């Protein structure tokens, strides 16, 4: 039996859990190929024009799934206590039904951690009936999935690249010899700028749609990501909010963003969002206000269906120029290299 898993949205956060889960059940997981122009075009054509770019991409990925017995579209209502996912996530199995290739059934399950593990298991067991798996088997698969997810989180915490972390997980399922990660922990380069890139994982790691922003930024600066921030630190940084954020992604973004704002090592923050994102409209504004108070360079990049890079590159270059020039100006003395003299007022 083959289950089709679209490489979009929750793939970037929860793929390890699901692949571990299905692996334990002896079900093969087929992932759609990395986003390319064809997938994006398919998504843009098929999805409702009112939805956001990540959902349009998901639609494209669903259509790209070939030769599978099921298309797996979980309804991830809540992934931890006291939070919800974005409302658009909640409606995925229905709102994207038209994208599913005809003849392929949809496999879905409601995952709601607000109600606790016992009920999550119960819902999974209900899905197990469709797959012809017993309650015991589902329970074992659930624990296996959690193990894989934990492993993934740990490598992320150790600042592995997303691609490396996910490769590690994919290798688990094919039982290959475990590769040693090419440790991205580069030598410290205090002279390079350190930029924090915050935003939803499915935008930051989606290198096709974000026009390779992460790679472009890494060529020019050291990059800090939300996923590398310790969970306890995120929680501490959320305490000052008068009212709790109840979207899980937003919580991570605000908590980590707040930490980056206070971190003197971070030279600037770039918030990557997509056009029409409801949760970002609030969190982005919250962070921008704090950034202004702290005089931290801050820029928002809004993604949509762009394929021209010029606008992105101009903004990125201008931002880095500004951050660099500000650092020099604020009395930072470079340990090597040239410095600007008092007659120079260029950037």
Partner 1 sequence: MGEDKFFLGVDVGSVSTNMVLLRPDNTLKEALYLRTQGRPMQTIQEGIKLLRSRIPNSSEIIGVGATGSARQLAATLLGADVVKNEITAHAVAASRVNPKVQTILEIGGQDSKIIILRDGVVSDFAMNTVCAAGTGSFLDQQAARLGIPIEEFGPLALRSKTPVQIAGRCSVFAESDMIHKQQLGHSLPDILAGLCQAMVRNYLNNVGKNKDIKGPIFFQGGVAANPGICKAFEEELGQSIIVPEHYGVMGALGAAFLAQERLANRPESSTGFRGLKLSETQFQAKSFECSGCANRCEIVEIIQEGISLARWGDRCGKWSLTVGTSNDNKLADQQRGQRGA
Q: Which residue in 212, 216, 238, 286 binds partner 1 (CB under 8 A)?
A: 212
Stretch that binds partner 1, among 9-17, 124-132, 168-176, 303-311 (CB under 8 A): 303-311
Smallest distance from partner 1 to CB 215, Å: 10
Sorted by sequence, the CB contacts under 8 Å of residue 77 that are 6+ apart come out as 84, 85, 89, 90, 110, 111, 112, 114
SS (H, E, C) 276-304: CCHHHHHHHHHHHHHHHHHCCCEEEEEEC
Nearer to partner 1, 235 or 317 (CB): 317
Dihedral (CA of 188, 325, 259, 206) sign: negative
Residue among 255, 281, 240, 152 at smallest CA distance from 198: 255
188 lies in the binding site for partner 1 (CB under 8 A): no
Q: Are 204 and 210 within 8 A, CB to CB?
A: yes
Q: Does 347 bind partner 1 (CB under 8 A)?
A: yes
User: Judged by CB under 8 A, which of 26, 28, 33, 97 binds partner 1?
Assistant: 33
Return the range that interacts with partner 1 (CB under 8 A); candidates 101-109, 113-121, 175-183, 214-222: 214-222
Q: Is 236 in the site for partner 1 (CB under 8 A)?
A: no
> Per CB under 8 A, does 220 bind partner 1?
yes
The binder of partner 1 chosen from 25, 263, 310, 332 (CB under 8 A): 310
Q: Judged by CB under 8 A, which of 28, 163, 233, 317 binds partner 1?
A: 317
Q: Which of helix, strand or coil describes residue 220?
A: helix
Query: Residues 43, 104: contact at Cβ < 8 Å?
Result: no
Check binding of 313 to partner 1 (CB under 8 A): yes
**CA pair distance 13, 67, nearest whole angstrom:** 25
Distances in Å between the Cα of 137 and the Cα atoms of 26, 81, 88, 178, 322 are 10, 25, 31, 26, 56
Q: Does residue number 324 form part of the binding site for partner 1 (CB under 8 A)?
A: yes
* 345 contacts partner 1 (rule: CB under 8 A): yes
Per CB under 8 A, contacts with partner 1 among 146-185 are none
Shortest Å distance, C-beta 314 to partner 1: 5
Q: Which is nearer to partner 1, 95 or 205 (CB)?
A: 205
- Return d(Cα 197, Cα 213) in angstroms, integer: 10
Query: What is the layout of strands, in order, in the sheet containing 2-5?
Result: 28-31, 2-5, 70-72, 106-107
Give the CA radius of gyration of the chain. Answer: 21
d(CA 274, CA 296): 22
Asked if 288 touches partner 1 (CB under 8 A), the answer is yes
Query: Toward partner 1, which CB reaches closer, 96 or 211?
Result: 211
Of residues 96-155, those binding partner 1 (CB under 8 A): none
Q: Does 335 bind partner 1 (CB under 8 A)?
A: no
Q: Does 331 bind partner 1 (CB under 8 A)?
A: no
Q: Judged by CB under 8 A, does residue 326 bind partner 1? A: yes
- 281 sits near partner 1 (criterion: CB under 8 A): no
- E strands in 221-336: 222-225, 268-274, 298-303
Number of residues that bind partner 1 (CB under 8 A): 43
Binding interface with partner 1 (CB under 8 A): 33, 36-39, 191-193, 208, 212, 219-221, 275, 288, 292, 295, 297, 302, 304, 310-311, 313-315, 317-322, 324-326, 328-329, 337-338, 340, 344-347
């Amino acid at each position: 039996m083959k289950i089709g898993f679209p490489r979009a949205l929750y793939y970037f956060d929860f793929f390890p859990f699901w692949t571990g889960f299905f692996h334990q059940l002896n079900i093969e997981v087929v992932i759609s190929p990395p986003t390319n122009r064809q997938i994006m075009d398919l998504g843009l054509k098929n999805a409702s024009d009112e939805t956001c770019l990540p959902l349009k991409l998901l639609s494209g990925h669903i259509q790209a799934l070939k030769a599978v017995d099921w298309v797996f579209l979980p309804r991830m209502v809540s992934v931890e206590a006291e939070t919800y996912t974005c409302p658009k996530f909640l409606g995925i199995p229905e709102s994207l039904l038209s994208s599913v290739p005809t003849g392929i059934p949809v496999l879905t399950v409601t995952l709601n951690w607000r109600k606790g593990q016992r009920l999550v298991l119960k819902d999974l067991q209900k899905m197990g009936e469709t797959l012809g798996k017993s309650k015991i088997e589902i329970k074992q698969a659930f624990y296996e999935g959690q193990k894989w997810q934990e492993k993934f989180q740990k490598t992320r915490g150790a600042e592995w690249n997303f691609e490396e972390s996910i490769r590690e997980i994919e290798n688990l399922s094919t039982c290959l010899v475990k590769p040693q990660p090419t440790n991205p922990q580069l030598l410290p380069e205090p002279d390079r700028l350190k930029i924090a890139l915050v935003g939803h994982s499915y935008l930051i790691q989606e290198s096709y749609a974000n026009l390779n922003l992460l790679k472009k930024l890494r060529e020019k600066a050291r990059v800090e990501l939300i996923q590398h921030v310790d969970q306890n630190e995120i929680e501490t940084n959320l305490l000052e909010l008068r009212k709790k954020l109840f979207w899980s992604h937003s919580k991570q973004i605000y908590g980590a963003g707040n930490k980056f704002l206070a971190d003197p090592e971070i030279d600037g923050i770039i918030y990557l969002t997509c056009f029409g994102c409801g949760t970002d409209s609030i969190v982005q504004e919250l962070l921008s206000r704090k950034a202004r108070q702290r005089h931290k360079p801050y820029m928002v990049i809004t993604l949509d269906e762009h394929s021209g890079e010029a606008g992105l590159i101009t903004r990125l270059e201008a931002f880095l120029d500004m951050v660099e020039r500000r650092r020099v100006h604020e009395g930072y003395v470079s340990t090597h290299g040239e410095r600007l003299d008092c007659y120079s007022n260029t950037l």
